[in-house]
């Protein structure tokens, strides 16, 4: 099994942190081989950024993602820039608050709306990570939850866990509506 995952969005949205948490959850918690890479423009906050995770049950000899099996778009700019680099049958998850895409096969979560309703607009990435966790094979909710607890100070871990849970629940609802 090899899964090529690409996250895309803007600097400051937590794209890179989401990818790091996914990589740690698969690598440390689920015992897979992983590779995580990232790139962002010189402007950092607000500029385009992407992060990639390769997940494999075999050794990883090539750590770049040329064609993504899984694509997560946090904003329209990231979607537009990288949608052409996903496989035809890729799993695509979009932040439907900020991404306008009409393909009915795409999974949608209104991550920005959820984060704003929580009064914590900076937890968009945790909402997206929760939705992604529900969709990914062989990834367990408590494994990612543990990585969140280990990677955040206790004073902010709680709100991030709530956002993660909200994203997971939102995807459960979408999957139920789709009959999946």
pLDDT in tens, 42-95: 555 667 799 999 999 999 999 999 999 999 999 999 999 999 999 999 999 999
In this predicted structure, what is the pLDDT of residue 42? Answer: 58
Write out pLDDT tens, residues 101-135. 999 999 999 999 999 999 999 999 999 999 999 99
pLDDT at 29: 80
C-alpha angle 55/150/126, rounded to 5°? 65
Residue-range domain boundaries for the chain: 2-178
Quote the pLDDT of residue 166.
98
**Does residue 167 carry a pLDDT above 90?**
yes
The answer to whether residue 152 scores a pLDDT higher than 80 is yes
2-178 adopts what CATH topology?
A: Pyruvate-ferredoxin Oxidoreductase; domain 3 (3.40.920)
pLDDT for the residue numbered 11: 85
Spatial contact of 12 and 45, defined as CB atoms under 8 Å apart:
yes
**Does the pLDDT at position 35 exceed 80?**
yes
Strand order in the sheet with 107-109: 33-40, 48-56, 2-10, 68-73, 86-95, 107-109
Record the pTM: 0.93
Report pLDDT for 43. 52
1-31 pLDDT, tens digit per residue, is 999 999 999 988 899 999 999 999 999 888 8
pLDDT of residue 57: 94
**CB 127, CB 13: distance < 8 Å:** no
The pLDDT, as a whole number, for residue 46 is: 67
Q: Which whole number is the average pLDDT over 138-149? A: 94
What angle do the packed helices 15-24 and 141-151 form, to 10 degrees? Answer: 120
Dist CA 122 CA 118 (whole Å): 10
């Amino acid at each position: 099994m090899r899964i090529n995952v690409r996250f895309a969005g803007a600097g400051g949205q937590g794209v890179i942190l989401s990818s790091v948490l996914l990589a740690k959850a698969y690598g440390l918690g689920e015992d897979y081989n992983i590779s995580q890479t990232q790139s962002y423009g010189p402007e950092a906050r607000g500029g385009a950024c992407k992060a990639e995770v390769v997940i494999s049950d075999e050794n990883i000899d090539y750590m770049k993602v040329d064609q993504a099996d899984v694509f997560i778009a946090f904003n329209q700019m990231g979607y537009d820039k990288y949608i052409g680099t996903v496989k035809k049958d890729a799993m695509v998850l979009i932040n439907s608050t900020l991404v306008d895409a009409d393909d009915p096969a795409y999974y949608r979560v209104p991550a920005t709306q959820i984060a704003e309703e929580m009064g914590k607009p900076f937890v968009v990435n945790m909402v997206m990570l929760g939705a992604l966790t529900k969709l990914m094979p062989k990834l367990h909710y408590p494994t990612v939850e543990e990585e969140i607890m280990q990677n955040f100070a206790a004073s902010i871990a709680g709100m991030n866990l709530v956002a993660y849970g909200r994203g997971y629940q939102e995807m459960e609802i979408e999957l139920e509506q789709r009959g999946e």
